[in-house]
Chain A
Amino acid sequence: MKDISLASDVSASTSASVAKVGSNETPTLDAYDDDPVVKSFPIYLSSRLASHLHIFQYPVRPNTRPYTGSQGEPVLDLRVKPDSGIVQVDVPINTTHFYDHEKGEKWGAVDRQTLGGVMTKSEGYMIGIFKDAELHLTPVQGTCQLRPSFTYVDKDVQTEKEIARSVKQDPAKPKEIRAVQMTVKSSDDSAPRYSGALAARKRAEDEEFVEMHWYDKDTEEAWDLAEHLRSASREPLIPATTKDEYIDLIRDKS
């Protein structure tokens, strides 16, 4: 394959093609005659992993230090709440360097930290791989951003609160209060209920985590699945929209 030589006079070809578009000529590929195609790849759509493909973004982590076994910092655990989309990833903490043992003990020292995020459904995103001079695209199901979540601090704070509360509490009173509350709650449907975000939050809290089995990169699993990124078929798919119809589609959507 020859190298792609870049024309120095790009602007000329641009203006030429623009001029042609502006004129009454049909702007097809021919409009770019002075900018010939030097290389082309067929593009295949692959759907096998489509509903399973997700992007995990770690905004706080440099891409030079991935969470993989080869880097010595593999993901230890993954938990998801499928309906709410809550994702939690446990990664190890290096306790030898830059680790505050004092604080570690304060918060129930563990050698791992939890990163949390929420999965959102995505549209139009695809992962592409090149294989044998072909581009294979698989649509992405969702993306989530994982940031350090300070659950250990939350727990700590909560525990403190509970301790404080139990110390303060007058044994006689609580019973009364609780009784009153119970009455209110057991009334009919007109009882105040959470709505909107609060409801979603409550649902999310009530949902149980599903523990996932994590397979690291470069494992057998990973290699096998990566193969699935390839399209299952080389058959050409039949386009179902004309350009005009496509324009309408865009208009309708927006």
Chain B
Amino acid sequence: MVPKRVPQSESPVASSSSSTPTATTPSSLAFPSPPPRLDSLSRPRASASGLAPTSSARLSRAGTPGLASGTGPSLGGAGGLKFKPKLVARRPKEERDAAAPAPSSAPAVSLSTPVSTRGRGRGRGRGGTSRGGGGAARGGRIEVATAAAGPFADPSFGDPRSLKGPSFEKRPPPSEKGREGQLKFTTANEGQWKGLGESDSDDEAIREGVERIDIAKVANVGGADGIDIGRYFPIRDSTADYFADGGRVAEEIIDETAVFAREAEEFVGVFGDDGVNDVERKLYFFQFAPVLPTFESSRAGVKLEQGVKLEQGVKSEPGVKAESSSPAQKGKINALSDSRSSVSSLPGQDGLVGQLYFRKSGRVSIRWGGVEMEVARGADTEFLQDVVVIDHADEHKATLLGQIAKKVVVSPNIDILFGESEESE
């Protein structure tokens, strides 16, 4: 899932760049004019000279889609292309100071949270520290706390929405296996994107009108200390007071709930809903834990407990919840403890071993021999996987049954497993 790039409207970068001319390419070449925010990067070169804007290299680094290979003008030019690094004029000290919020003297201890800068939302795996907009590079550094976000983020991390104080709230750890892989994307300030994951140092010279923020030094987050995070920190929060000062930047927070819902839908779709035919022709690969609750391999002990209700097959009626029969089973097990000598993990005989449940939220679980298991979708593969029956009995036969359609991973629900056993102790 790649976060959408939402065109920004009010970033400081954009506003500052509006002062520079937009046309950077000679009229002879039909290139799309670069998006406004990159205008500041290129100085208008006289088309007459036929020289490419010296920032063409920079432009390309900035990763303007489609112009990545360098704008056309670099081809032309009398006397070849000369690369002159663009010297960015520093904003006068007053401006910088004015723009820079007062640095707090409090130690920035609490904010040395492991920041996964990779998770800035691009998901590209690179990317410098989070930057705010506005403010010249040196001097006016403000620290900003960032939250890990993105595919490698620690899921228990506070979500950026909770970035009020120096500490993060912990989100309740997702208990369902199926949701652990949830990706939470928060895309950084559009204005901060210089292209595909450039590192910090590259941009220093490039940025004009962009405030540099030194994360390590930010003492406190939040409006109360005079630092308006909204201005410097690109993560948008739904709470309005965050952005009291404007400087709102556009970005997108992918709603985790929606993501899960969608995935759950797909997952459920794996098993099919009413499309019985379709489902029935598919082979599903289930990965269970190597150790599973055992079953009696012989049925000798059945007659002992007549009145005990075993798990019966439940017809697939919507809204029907299978009865929890674990207390019953426990009773039975005690009575049959003598006959447990012939227990095997997977009985040699066939029979009903459990139930597969689909819940309203899309969560899927299995009850296997009285133990709750979580069901998650396994990673799909693009390579061929065949199911083959090999038989050496009479003749040596190998029969191809078909391909594996989807993979499903089943693991014991630890919460329930340990929750209940604590109870009994």
Enumerate chain A interface residues (CB-CB to B < 8 A).
1-11, 13-15, 17-19, 21, 24, 26-32, 35-50, 52-63, 65-68, 75, 78, 80, 82, 123-131, 133-135, 137, 139, 141, 210-217, 219, 221-222, 225-226, 229, 231-244, 246-247, 249-250, 253
Once the chains bind, are A240 and B311 in contact (CB under 8 Å)? no
Once the chains bind, are A14 and B176 in contact (CB under 8 Å)? yes
Bound Cα distance A216, B398 (Å): 9
Q: Name which residue of chain A comes closest to B173, CB basis.
A: A18
Q: A2-B318, A46-B350, A124-B290 are in contact. Are A246 and B333 (CB under 8 A)?
A: no
Q: A55-B387, A213-B395 are in contact. Are A243 and B283 (CB under 8 A)?
A: no
B402 at the interface (CB under 8 A from A): yes
Query: Looking at the complex, which one of B179, B276, B302, B318 makes contact with A39 (CB distance below 8 Å)?
Result: B318
Bound Cα distance A119, B168 (Å): 49
Bound Cα distance A119, B361 (Å): 40
22 contacts between A and B (CB under 8 A): A3-B273, A6-B361, A26-B423, A29-B372, A37-B319, A46-B350, A53-B388, A82-B392, A128-B408, A139-B346, A221-B399, A222-B401, A226-B402, A234-B313, A235-B351, A236-B352, A238-B332, A239-B370, A240-B340, A243-B326, A243-B420, A246-B371
B391 at the interface (CB under 8 A from A): yes
Q: Name which residue of chain A comes closest to B289, CB basis.
A: A124
Query: Looking at the complex, which one of B260, B272, B284, B289 makes contact with A127 (CB distance below 8 Å)?
Result: B284
Query: Looking at the complex, which one of A29, A38, A40 makes contact with B324 (CB distance below 8 Å)?
Result: A29
* Chain A contacts for B311, CB-based, 8 A: 236
Bound Cα distance A48, B346 (Å): 12
Once the chains bind, are B296 and A211 in contact (CB under 8 Å)? no
Most buried by B among A9, A17, A242: A242
**Which chain B residues in 147-195 approach chain A with CB under 8 Å?**
172-176, 179
Q: A14-B176, A18-B172, A241-B369 are in contact. Are A43 and B354 (CB under 8 A)?
A: yes
Once the chains bind, are B296 and A247 in contact (CB under 8 Å)? no
Q: Which of the segments B41-49, B138-146, B378-386 contacts the partner chain?
A: B378-386
Q: A124-B292, A242-B333 are in contact. Are A29 and B321 (CB under 8 A)?
A: yes
Once the chains bind, are B316 and A239 in contact (CB under 8 Å)? no
Bound Cα distance A225, B418 (Å): 40
Most buried by A among B256, B289, B355, B389: B389
Q: A39-B318, A231-B351, A240-B343 are in contact. Are A49 and B389 (CB under 8 A)?
A: yes
B239 at the interface (CB under 8 A from A): no
Once the chains bind, are B280 and A41 in contact (CB under 8 Å)? no
Bound Cα distance A183, B412 (Å): 61
Number of A-B residue pairs, CB cutoff 8 Å, is 367
B88 at the interface (CB under 8 A from A): no
Most buried by B among A11, A50, A66: A11
* Chain A contacts for B370, CB-based, 8 A: 239, 241-243
B310 at the interface (CB under 8 A from A): yes
Q: A18-B173, A55-B386, A213-B395 are in contact. Are A253 and B415 (CB under 8 A)?
A: no
* Chain B contacts for A131, CB-based, 8 A: 280
Enumerate chain B interface residues (CB-CB to A < 8 A).
172-176, 179, 256-258, 260-261, 264-265, 268, 271-274, 276, 279-280, 282-296, 299, 301-302, 310-316, 318-322, 324, 326, 329-330, 332-333, 336, 340, 343, 346-363, 366, 368-372, 381-392, 395-404, 408, 412, 415-421, 423-424
* Chain A contacts for B369, CB-based, 8 A: 237, 239-241
Query: Looking at the complex, which one of A9, A49, A216, A244 makes contact with B257 (CB distance below 8 Å)?
Result: A9
Once the chains bind, are B420 and A26 in contact (CB under 8 Å)? yes
| CB proximity of A179 to chain B, nearest CB, Å | 43
Once the chains bind, are B362 and A10 in contact (CB under 8 Å)? yes
Q: Name which residue of chain A comes closest to B381, CB basis.
A: A63
Q: Name which residue of chain A comes closest to B423, CB basis.
A: A26
Query: Looking at the complex, which one of B296, B318, B355 makes contact with A238 (CB distance below 8 Å)?
Result: B296
Once the chains bind, are B290 and A123 in contact (CB under 8 Å)? yes
Query: Looking at the complex, which one of B274, B322, B382, B399 makes contact with A37 (CB distance below 8 Å)?
Result: B322
